[in-house]
Amino acid sequence: MRLDGLLLTGGGDLDPGTFGGVAHDQNYSVSPERDRFEVELVRGALAAGLPTLAICRGMQVLNVALGGDLHPHLPDVVGDSVTHRASQAEAALHPVRVESASALRQQLGADALESVPSWHHQGVDRLGAGLRPVAWAPDSVVEALELAGEPQVTAVQWHPELAGAGREGRGLFEALVERATTYARSRG
């Protein structure tokens, strides 16, 4: 099978055992098998230089695959001044500040997003090797990551595919398609 790009989607929580964490009573839809598969998938994609867009859980998987870990329940760490998830069935909306010198800013065409659909309660704690934060919620929760030397990798904690993400969200998918097309051409 030949892949020209990878989209890592959202979903249930990562098993805290995947990153050496402790289970939390708010963990839901945990699948250790999915965790192991996606961590290895990310490692293979990075080794191949595959264009990758990681969304929500996907960003968390990327961080864990590179040796990072997660806060198991953000409200325990940052409080509830920003709602990152309204419920397991409903997204929340909050603003995001984007680093102006980041590749993400070029893809989005904006230094700030007024309202992104957010649907998570876990979040990046210790960064994986080579990752750097490039966007933050008002409570300083990391909302996007870039990987040093790997411009084909974009990771966001919010859901650009959901209604309410705005035209900026479309830019992330357009960038993935453009990079995947270039990658495919380079392979012949």
Query: What is the total count of domains within the chain?
Result: 1
| Token duo for residue 59 | 């960003």
Task: Establish if 77 belongs to a structural domain.
Answer: yes
The CATH number covering residue 113 comes to: 3.40.50.880
Give the residue from 121, 106, 157 showing the smallest Cα distance to 24. Answer: 121
Neighbours of 46 (CB within 10 A): 19
Q: Report the catalytic residues.
A: 56, 159, 161
Give the residue from 54, 50, 52 showing the smallest Cα distance to 183. Answer: 50
pLDDT digits (tens, 9 = 90+) for 4-33: 999 999 999 999 999 998 889 888 898 999
Task: Establish if 153 belongs to a structural domain.
Answer: yes
Contact 131, 69 (CB under 8 A): no
Task: Establish if 88 belongs to a structural domain.
Answer: yes
Relative orientation angle of helices 32-48 and 57-65, to the nearest 10 degrees: 70
Contact 11, 5 (CB under 8 A): no
**Residue 126 structural domain:** 6-186
| Token duo for residue 100 | 């102006």
pLDDT digits (tens, 9 = 90+) for 84-140: 998 878 889 999 999 999 999 999 988 999 999 999 999 999 999 999 999 999 999
pLDDT of residue 91: 87
| Pairing outcome for strands 123-124 and 153-156 | unpaired
Task: Establish if 1 belongs to a structural domain.
Answer: no
Task: Establish if 136 belongs to a structural domain.
Answer: yes
CA 13 vs. chain centroid, Å, equals 13
pLDDT of residue 165: 59
| Whether pTM exceeds 0.85 | yes
